[in-house]
Structure 1
Amino acid sequence: LNFGGTPAGIDARAVVDSGVLPIINTGIAHKQAGVGQIGAGITTAPMACFEGAVTALAGELR
């Protein structure tokens, strides 16, 4: 993927309709090889990201 984001099949319409944001699992690797993972957590993207995607897709369909 050339360091691009990992493709994920998230239905933006379903997110906006349900109001439930998908969980994003995060992890941080140490800069030195062999040390391993130094951080982890979970987060969500803002609802505005999904609302904007739905609006943009609707504009393309018109």
Structure 2
Amino acid sequence: MVAFYGSPVPDHVALVEIDLYGELMIAASSVVEERMSADHIDQVLRVEVDRSVSATSKPVRE
């Protein structure tokens, strides 16, 4: 838990970010290539890109 003003309060956003970072680290450690492709990173982070809207559309999380 992350302390907030001296009391232990869970920071849900930070915990999710830590979890996603951990998943990326695990995936990166198993990649044979020097770098992970953007598509592989999106797959690990469960990100979908709606390419039908526009070329500049932002990724959408599931």
What is the TM-score normalised by the length of structure 1?
0.31
Structure whose residues are more often helix by fraction: 2
Q: Which has the higher strand share?
A: 1
